Structure 1
Amino acid sequence: MSENHVARASVDVPASAETVWDTLVDPEATWMMGARVTSAYVVGVPITFDGEWDGRPFQDHGEILEVDRPRRLRYTHYSPLSGQPDVPESYHHLTFTFDEDEGSTTVTLEQDGNGSAEEASHATANWEQVLGALRDAVVADAGRAGSS
């Protein structure tokens, strides 16, 4: 990729950073566009995203680059649906940061490796939806925990 436009999205979640982190790494929580996200969340190990898009199964993948629980998580991400070859130049880097303040957490996601401003804008819109789904999953989990 010759250009490197960065997509950025953020969401405020009414929960602690630990709680948000727990939902983010829970393979049963389908906040990532309905995909099941699986990893040991240790630097150097794989991360996979198993899901379905337009009726077709897919498996995205990457590698964990940084784990600083509950402040920062960084990994590579490749999707065959991108149409790009599975080579390092086709991978994005996703960086999640968690900033907690008085029981609420701002989650910010940055995705590098976008080839144009338009591509970054499209990615930003997608990530805003994904982070909204993460917030909703955290709130739903808190609701279930509070009613049990």
Structure 2
Amino acid sequence: MRRRLSGLWAVLTDPAAVKEFMFGADVRTDWLPGSSITWRGEWEGKEYADRGEILEAEPGSRLVMTHFSPLGGQEDVPENYHTLTWTLEESAGGTKLTLSQDNNASAEEAEHSKGMWDNLVASVKEIAERE
């Protein structure tokens, strides 16, 4: 089971895989707590640079980071950052991957984020199963 966990961790932290599941964005970070993380890409013809900080990195089990996207139109201040928490757990016959996001301004925003992140997690699963 540890092999599956480490394989899924590799997908979450490999720049080529991140580019695939993060809508074509290039990621830059060293994955160490306290380090910055940026995602650069293009969305609907507009270049963007999302940013955040790695808060926790426990290989094979947990990755926590902040995330801010200027595409949302909000001011770049700490209270507008989300915290993304990736959790990997052994389960019968595989690995359970959970992604949660905090700091949604409304139920509608939370629902929009859930749809986007559900698609992203499905992409991570697809990539991991190819490995």
Instruction: Please give the TM-score of this superposition, normalised by the length of structure 2.
Output: 0.91
Q: Percent identity?
A: 43
- In structure 2, list runs of 5 or more residues that go unmatched: none
User: Which protein has the bigger helix share?
Assistant: 2
Q: Distance in 2 between matches of 1:59 and 1:137?
A: 24
Partner of 1:145: none
One of 36, 50, 55 as aligned partner of 1:46 = 36
Partner of 1:67: 57
- In structure 1, list runs of 5 or more residues that go unmatched: 1-14, 143-148
User: Which protein has the bigger strand share?
Assistant: 1
Partner of 2:15: 27
The one-letter amino acid paired with 1:126 is: M
Partner of 1:99: 89
SS at 1:86 equivalent? coil
Q: Which has the larger radius of gyration?
A: 1
Q: Distance in 1 between matches of 2:121 and 2:27?
A: 14
Q: Is the 8 A contact 1:76 1:92 kept in 2?
A: yes
Give the alignment's Cα RMSD to 1 decimal. 1.3
Q: Distance in 1 between matches of 2:105 and 2:64?
A: 20
| Inter-CA distance 40–103: structure 2 relative to 1 (3 Å threshold) | farther
Instruction: Please give the TM-score of this superposition, normalised by the length of structure 1.
Output: 0.81
Q: Distance in 2 between matches of 1:77 and 1:25?
A: 15
Partner of 1:116: 106
The one-letter amino acid paired with 1:135 is: K
Q: Distance in 2 between matches of 1:62 and 1:110?
A: 15
